[in-house]
C-alpha cells in the first residue's frame, strides 16, 4: 500500500519557523512544511503547535554549545546549521502516516521530544534515556543531512505517536508544554535518593529547581530548602511549597550553614540538587550534603572544576542528570493533571516574531522578570 499522510485539515506548503542559522543568529523564516514521508518513520505524526517553552538549553545551543552531547555523551558535539529550536511543546495532532493512528487526529497531546534506537547497549539495558543514537526534536540530532532540523519554534512540528500523550481539556497547552522540564525534575529527584522526612536542598530556583521543590514533596521529603540570588525565583519557590528560601548573595558559608541548621534541627540535607553547575555551587552543595547523601548536578558545563576531595568524603554520592525516563513523564503528567504540580505565575508569553530579540535579553546581565518564557506560534 502506498504510504501517505492522513490529515484532518488542509496543510500549508510553507510554515513560519524561527531558525538558528548559526550561533547567535536566529531568523524568522518561511520554510517548507516538514516532509514527514521523507523521514522513513511511520511512527511520526504532525503536531500543530499551540505552545512551546524556551528552555535554558536553547540558550546554550544559541551560544554554540550542545547540552545534549554534554549531558548524555559527555563530549562536545558540533551543531549543524539551520536548527529549529524548541523541544518543550504541546498541540493538536493534525497528521499521521500509519493508518492505525488515524484516531489520534484532533487529539490534544504533550509529546516526548525524542526517539531512541532500541538497539544499543543503553537501550538493551533499560537505560534508553542515555541512548547515543537518539533522534531529537529541537536539538538537530539524528535526522541525517537536512535543509532544516525539526523543532517547535514553528507552527507545526513532527513527533512520535507512541510517546505523544493525550491531555485532558482541563489542562491548558501552556501548562502541558512544560512537561519536558517537569519530567526532568521528576527524574533528577529520583536520582537524588530522597529519603522520607529528610531535608532536601536545591541550589538554583529556576523552573527545574521549582519543579524539584514540588516533586521532592510528592516523594516524601522533609523540609525543602532553596538557595538562589533572585528574589523573583525564590518567591515562586515559596508559592510552590519550599520551607526555607535563602538569598545567599551576601552570605558566607558559615552563615548559610547556621541558617540551615536552625531550620532543620541540625540535620544536613540528604539530597542536594544543583541546577547552576559552577565550581562555587558544587563546593557549596557538597559541603552542605549529609554523610552518605546524594548530590545531583543538573547543569553540566564543558569546563574544569577544582574541588577538595574532603568535601565528598563519608561516602557521599556525586552524580548528574538532565534527562528523564518514560515512567517519569507518565507520573509527572498525572501529577500535573491532578493539580499536584503548580506552575502558576511562571510564564511570560511571546510570539514567534519576538523570539530572536528575547534571546539577547535573557543572556544579558540586566535582570528581567522572565522566569519562564513560552512561545505561542
Domain end position, chosen among 275, 305, 320:
320
Q: How many residues does the chain have?
A: 377
Q: Is residue 314 domain-shared with residue 247, that is, in the same domain?
A: yes
Name residues whose C-beta falls within 8 Å of residue 375's C-beta, 6 or more positions apart in sequence: 51, 52, 53, 54, 86, 153, 349, 350, 351, 352, 355
Q: Tell whether 71 and 111 lie within a shared domain.
A: yes
For range 98-119, the mean pLDDT: 97
User: Is the same domain home to 308 and 351?
Assistant: no
CATH assignment of the domain containing 40: 3.90.180.10
For residue 90, being part of any structural domain is answered with: yes
Q: Any idea which residue has 557549596 for its cell?
A: 284
Residues 285 and 192 both lie in one domain: yes
Taking the C-alpha atoms of residue 213 and residue 321, their distance in angstroms, rounded to an integer, is 17
Does a structural domain hold residue 226? yes
Mean pLDDT score of the chain, rounded to an integer?
94
Element (H, E) at 16: strand 14-22
Residue 283 within a domain: yes
Q: What nine digits make up the cell of 243?
A: 520551607
pLDDT digits (tens, 9 = 90+) for 231-257: 999 999 999 999 999 999 999 999 999
For residue 93, the cross-strand partners are: 47
- 339 lies in some domain: no
Domain-embedded: residue 294: yes
When divided into structural domains, the chain yields a total of 2
- The confidence score (pLDDT) of residue 367 equals 55
Listed in sequence order, the residues at least 6 apart from 366 whose beta carbon sits closer than 8 Å to its beta carbon are none
pLDDT at 366 > cutoff 80? no
Please indicate, yes or no, if residue 331 is contained in any of the structural domains: no
295 close to 274: Cβ distance less than 8 angstroms? yes
Domain of 126, in residue numbers? 6-178+346-376
- Note whether 27 and 90 are same-domain residues: yes
Residues 135 and 67 in one domain: yes
In terms of domains, do 164 and 197 share one?
no
pLDDT tens, residue by residue, 126-158: 999 999 999 999 998 889 899 999 999 999 999
Do 285 and 353 belong to one domain?
no
Residues 166 and 19 in one domain: yes
Q: Do the domain assignments include residue 85?
A: yes
- The closest of 351, 77, 372 to 208, measured between CA atoms, is 372
Please check whether residue 1 lies inside any domain of the structure: no
The mean pLDDT value for 27-33 works out to: 98
Considering the domain architecture, whether residues 69 and 169 belong to the same structural domain is answered as yes
Amino acid at each position: 500500500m502506498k504510504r501517505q499522510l492522513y490529515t484532518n485539515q488542509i496543510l500549508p506548503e510553507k510554515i513560519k519557523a524561527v531558525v538558528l542559522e548559526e550561533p547567535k543568529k536566529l531568523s524568522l523564516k518561511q520554510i517548507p512544511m516538514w516532509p514527514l514521508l521523507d523521514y522513513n518513520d511511520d511512527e511520526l505524526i504532525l503536531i500543530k503547535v499551540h505552545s512551546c517553552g524556551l528552555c535554558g538549553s536553547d540558550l546554550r545551543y544559541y551560544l554554540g554549545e550542545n547540552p545534549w552531547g554534554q549531558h548524555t555523551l559527555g563530549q562536545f558535539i558540533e551543531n549543524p546549521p539551520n536548527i529549529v529550536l524548541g523541544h518543550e511543546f504541546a498541540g493538536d495532532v493534525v497528521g499521521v502516516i500509519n493508518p492505525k493512528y488515524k484516531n489520534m487526529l484532533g487529539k490534544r497531546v504533550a509529546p516526548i521530544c525524542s526517539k531512541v534506537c532500541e538497539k544499543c547497549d543503553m537501550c538493551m539495558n533499560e537505560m534508553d534515556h542515555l541512548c547515543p543514537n537518539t533522534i531529537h526534536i529541537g536539538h538537530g540530532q539524528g535526522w541525517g543531512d537536512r535543509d532544516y532540523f525539526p523543532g517547535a519554534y514553528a507552527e507545526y512540528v513532527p513527533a512520535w505517536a507512541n510517546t505523544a500523550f493525550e491531555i485532558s481539556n482541563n489542562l491548558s497547552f501552556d501548562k502541558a508544554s512544560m512537561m519536558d522540564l517537569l519530567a526532568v525534575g521528576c527524574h533528577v529527584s529520583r536520582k537524588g535518593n530522597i529519603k522520607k522526612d529528610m531535608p532536601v536542598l536545591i541550589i538554583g530556583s529556576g523552573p527545574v529547581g521549582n519543579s524539584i521543590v514540588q516533586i521532592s514533596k510528592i516523594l516524601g521529603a522533609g523540609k525543602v530548602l532553596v538557595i538562589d540570588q533572585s528574589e523573583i525565583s525564590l518567591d515562586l519557590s515559596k508559592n510552590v511549597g519550599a520551607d526555607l528560601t535563602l538569598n545567599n548573595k551576601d552570605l558566607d558559608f558559615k552563615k548559610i550553614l547556621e541558617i540551615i541548621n536552625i531550620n532543620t534541627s541540625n540535620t544536613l540535607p540528604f539530597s542536594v540538587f544543583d541546577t547552576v553547575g559552577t565550581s562555587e555551587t558544587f563546593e557549596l552543595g557538597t559541603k552542605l550534603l549529609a554523610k552518605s547523601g546524594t548530590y545531583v548536578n543538573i547543569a553540566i558545563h564543558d569546563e574544569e572544576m577544582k574541588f577538595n576531595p574532603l568535601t565528598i568524603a563519608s561516602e557521599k554520592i556525586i552524580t548528574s542528570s538532565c534527562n528523564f525516563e518514560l515512567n517519569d513523564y507518565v507520573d509527572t503528567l498525572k501529577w500535573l493533571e491532578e493539580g499536584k504540580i503548580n506552575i502558576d505565575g511562571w510564564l511570560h508569553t511571546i510570539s514567534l516574531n519576538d523570539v530572536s530579540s528575547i534571546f539577547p535579553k535573557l543572556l544579558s546581565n540586566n535582570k528581567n522578570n522572565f522566569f519562564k518564557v513560552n512561545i505561542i506560534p
